[in-house]
Chains A and B, each alone.
Chain A
Amino acid sequence: MKILIVDDSSTMRRIIINTLSRIGYTDVVEGEHGKAGLEKLGQGGVEMIITDWNMPEMDGLEFVQAVRSQNASIPILMVTTNAAKEDIVQALQAGVNNYVVKPFTPDTLKEKIESLLG
């Protein structure tokens, strides 16, 4: 199971990678913004995406829309500081499958990933 993590914070990418490895997912690729995420996705093999929202170059919402224009089925989890209801709805309308507000606990991330991979 290869997971793509898109976040401009190297610290946050590291925390997510660490959490994933503790719950058994060690095959991870990273992108520091939406454009880099699309590049990694284009290289193939990615089965799930975890993305931030606020990023330079291409933000998470634009990234999700770009992904959905070419792939309707890949599970996408948004992990962000944006916690307003209108933001969450906007992300869901763009095509994310689930939503986690930072800071998150490993249990929350695990639960969301497992429910997406169902």
Chain B
Amino acid sequence: MDQSEIDSLMKKGDKPASKKAPKAGAESALGLPAGTIAPDDPQGHVISELDAVTSVTERETNKVMDQLDLISALVGTQQALITGVMRHPGAQDPGVQEAINQVMAAGKDIQNKVYEAMDLMQFQDITRQKLERIVHHLRQIHDYIVDLLGTGLKSDGERASISRTITSTGTTPDEKRAHADSVVDEFKRSHNKD
């Protein structure tokens, strides 16, 4: 819900302002071409929206990764330049050498933080799989209702690509999470006995 809709709701008796139809060639807020989501297909709409979220976050995460790669390369260049300066006859003063060492250490800290930030980008894949699990459950509910009503609204062709991954697996609920190392050790021990 955007601000105009909230404002409309706040006005007693008014209906929320309808969203303007996207212009031809324009992009949605998610960065997808306008008109990619069929308005008369409620199931496809929700799934397509979730599909769009995963596509866009993956694309944007890769852009962040590009920037981090760039920062990493720039730090590498800076370290190489400073190493050159260290060897310069004019930089042999102990005070200058100490300052250069501090700059080098700070550069290494930046590099490590860049690596940590890259590792944190795993959230994107984990979030994607959680969304896929939600879509899977939504579809089950949808199919159940359709079966209950006896209508023939199910259409595989209308289903978005997000459905491709999940059948019965996905992210594991916290209460079911096991300690992988313990399970692996236990499995190997039991197989070594056989």
Q: Which residues of A contact B (CB under 8 A)?
A: 7-12, 14-15, 18-19, 22, 53-56, 59, 81-85, 87-89, 92, 98-106
CA distance A101 to B123 in the complex (A): 13
A59 to chain B, nearest CB (A): 8
A83 to chain B, nearest CB (A): 4
Q: What residue in chain B is nearest A18 (Cβ atoms)?
A: B118
By Cβ-Cβ distance, the 5 closest A-B pairs, closest first, are A85-B178, A56-B164, A83-B172, A103-B122, A9-B125
Q: Of A9, A85, A92, which is within 8 A of B124 by CB? A: A9
Tell me if B170 and A54 are in contact (CB < 8 A). yes
CA distance A103 to B122 in the complex (A): 6
Say yes or no for B169: interface residue by CB 8 A criterion. yes
CA distance A92 to B122 in the complex (A): 24
Q: Which of B61, B176, B180, B188 has the most CB of A within 10 A?
A: B180
A11 to chain B, nearest CB (A): 5
Tell me if A53 and B180 are in contact (CB < 8 A). no
Q: In chain B, residues 157-194, which have Cβ atoms closer than 8 Å to a Cβ of chain A? A: 164-166, 169-172, 176-178, 180, 183-184, 187-188
CA distance A100 to B122 in the complex (A): 13
Q: Which residues of B contact A (CB under 8 A)?
A: 58, 61-62, 65, 115, 118-126, 128-129, 132, 164-166, 169-172, 176-178, 180, 183-184, 187-188
Chain B residues with CB under 8 A of A19: 119
Chain A residues with CB under 8 A of B169: 53-54, 59, 82, 87
Given A84-B176, A85-B178, A103-B123, the answer on whether A11 and B61 have CB atoms closer than 8 Å is yes
Q: Which of A15, A22, A81, A99 has the most CB of B within 10 A?
A: A81
Tell me if A100 and B170 are in contact (CB < 8 A). no
Tell me if B178 and A88 are in contact (CB < 8 A). yes
